[in-house]
Chains A and B, each alone.
Chain A
Amino acid sequence: MAIELHPLHQFEIQRIVPLHIGGLDISFTNSALLMTIVVVAITAVTVLGTRKAELVPGRVQSVAEMLYEFVADMVDTNAGHDARDFFPFVFTLFVFILFANLLGLVPWSFTVTSHIIVTFALALVVFIGVTVIGFVRHGAHFLRLFVPEGVPPVLLVLLVPIEVLSYFIRPFTLSIRLFANMLAGHTMLAIFGGFAAAVGVFAIFPVAINVALVGLELLVALLQAYVFAILTCLYLRDALHLH
């Protein structure tokens, strides 16, 4: 019985509609397809949920309202009251990552957030955005972020590089955390699925583990979207208030 395990096969990018313009490969891939589905699903939930507002909300309306309140509260408590302007940005980020993570758990679908290029692009948007906001709000004063107050000048020689480095590491930690969690979880699911196919009648054990793992992955999907959004809020707070 030769069963081949390909736990990483699920992450392969496949071209659905090949498209090359001027030497650039801009084919419509499975990744792009899933992103489109994510955006359509989000639009459906928010539009349907708010179209007919009832006093006792239906299912879709409840979901839309819970999402809104959750993110609004998160922005309010973590980024400050005057960060309300950035609520649409944080909401978009959170809901996009959440839906991408959750829809990635559907069998035969594709997890967009398991690709470092996707998460890094998202993190880079946050990083550049926050830096620009900081300089717009505070001008050159924003650089004081790197100089801790009340520290002896001798220590500043060491502390300023550390602060600068920890600032520039943000997009990396932000993106690698999300990407690594999704990649590891989905690989693990595929490995146990492969075991189940290989061991015949004893398949009940790997399947049982997989059931538990799917629960765990559901939690990870929610938590990682939460962590990404909350860190965005904290970075925004830094840019708005300089500690």
Chain B
Amino acid sequence: MSESEPPDRLARLGRRLDEARARRGNAAPAPGSNDPAVQQGMALGLRIGIEFVVAIVVATALGWALDRWLGTRPWGTISLFFLGIGTGMVSVYRAVAGIKMAVGYRRPDTPDANRQRAKERAKDKWDDDEE
């Protein structure tokens, strides 16, 4: 360790951070997996793919089981198949348009979403202050 180094670990770390930031300069951060929007988008994309298929398969299986139980073949399978398609569409639509709404509801511009955005902004600011 050379003599010019500040003895304090914290100060040294701070200086190294400053240097690293200066090197990066004003370059915009690369859109990567650190971006929460990208993360959430991917999570949503992975989610809705399976939603539709599973709804139909489970509903049809349920209809088939009901038919076997009640001896109403084939009406349970048929009606629950179509109900499954409806449920699948509703789930996908719901997942894309806003998660917590009930069927037939347009998600209002929720105070929740605004609050979350405000919170993120506040958090960013707080982080900046801390630096």
Contacts and interface: CB of A to CB of B under 8 A. Distances in A.
Given A56-B10, A176-B50, A181-B46, A165 B102 contact: no
Interface string B59-86: 1001000000000000000000001101
Contacts of B43: 223, 226-227, 230
A65 to B, nearest CB: 14
Chain A interface mostly helix, strand, loop or mixed? helix
B37 interface: no
B105 A148 contact: yes
Contact of A227 (B9, B47, B54): B47
B99 A173 contact: no
B42 A234 contact: no
A243 B90 contact: no
Give the most central of A55, A155, A163, A234: most B CB within 10 Å: A163
Contacts of B83: 161-162, 165
Interface string B99-128: 111111100000000001001000000000
A137 interface: no
A66 interface: no
Size bracket, chain A contacts: 20 to 34
Given A56-B9, A77-B116, A159-B103, A169 B42 contact: no
Chain B interface mostly helix, strand, loop or mixed? helix
Contact of B47 (A148, A149, A166, A177): A177
Nearest to A144: B102
B100 A238 contact: yes
B54 A172 contact: yes
B73 to A, nearest CB: 20
A21 interface: no
Contacts of B50: 173, 176-177, 180
Contacts of A169: 54-55, 58-59, 87, 91
Nearest to B79: A161
Nearest to B84: A165
12 contacts: A162-B90, A165-B55, A166-B55, A169-B55, A169-B58, A173-B50, A173-B54, A219-B33, A226-B39, A227-B43, A231-B47, A243-B101
Interface of A: 55-56, 77, 148-149, 151, 155, 158-159, 161-163, 165-166, 168-169, 172-173, 176-177, 180-181, 219-220, 223-224, 226-227, 230-231, 234, 237-238, 243
